[in-house]
């Protein structure tokens, strides 16, 4: 039998393949963690920006409130994508950052705001009046 001398080569190749696979998985995980960190870093300022604008009275605040309410409770407040279209460019970017952050955050976004739950309830009351 000639296979005995080839077994160490097969084992070595399998170990090398496993090492490369593990390194690739670790690199993907590191990239994903970096991506989540970047989203979290830009998410909080974007959330605060939307909240500031949402407390106004023009058409922009209404759409900011709708985005925030959709992130807060999408079942009760589904997001009409037209809300994103009518926002100014900087607010649209902030809205998309908040939406993306909400998908990867380990907490509800309103928890990052002082009295966030009460704020969202106030926004919901304003939007109910306008319907």
- pLDDT of amino acid 55: 94
Give the angle 11-13-19 at the CA atoms, nearest 5°: 100
Tokens of 25: 């998985």
What one-character DSSP code corresponds to residue 4? Answer: G
Mean pLDDT estimate for the chain: 89
Contact 26, 34 (CB under 8 A): no
Q: Which residue has the higher pLDDT, 11 or 74?
A: 74
Contact 42, 53 (CB under 8 A): no
Buried b (16+ CB within 10 A) or exposed e, 35-56: ebeebeebbbebbebbbebbee
Domain regions of the chain by residue span: 39-130
Tens-place pLDDT, residues 51-105: 999 998 878 999 999 999 999 999 999 999 988 999 999 999 999 999 999 998 8
| Predicted model pTM | 0.75
Q: Is the pLDDT of residue 3 over 60?
A: no
Alpha-carbon distance of 115 to 4, in angstroms, equals 71
Tokens of 75: 């079942």
Instruction: Give the model's confidence band at 126: pLDDT under 50 very low, under 70 low, under 90 confident, else very high.
Output: very high
Mean pLDDT of 17-28: 87
Q: Which residue has the higher pLDDT, 27 or 65?
A: 65
């Amino acid at each position: 039998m000639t296979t005995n001398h080839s077994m160490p080569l097969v084992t070595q190749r399998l170990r090398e393949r496993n090492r490369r696979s593990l390194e690739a998985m670790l690199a993907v995980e590191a990239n994903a963690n970096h991506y989540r960190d970047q989203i979290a870093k830009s998410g909080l300022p974007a959330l605060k920006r939307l909240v500031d604008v949402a407390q106004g009275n023009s058409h922009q605040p209404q759409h900011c409130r709708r985005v925030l309410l959709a992130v807060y409770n999408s079942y009760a407040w589904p997001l009409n994508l037209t809300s994103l279209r009518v926002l100014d460019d900087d607010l649209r970017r902030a809205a998309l950052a908040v939406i993306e952050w909400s998908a990867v955050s380990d907490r509800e976004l309103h928890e990052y705001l002082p009295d966030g739950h009460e704020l969202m309830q106030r926004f919901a009351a304003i939007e109910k009046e306008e319907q």
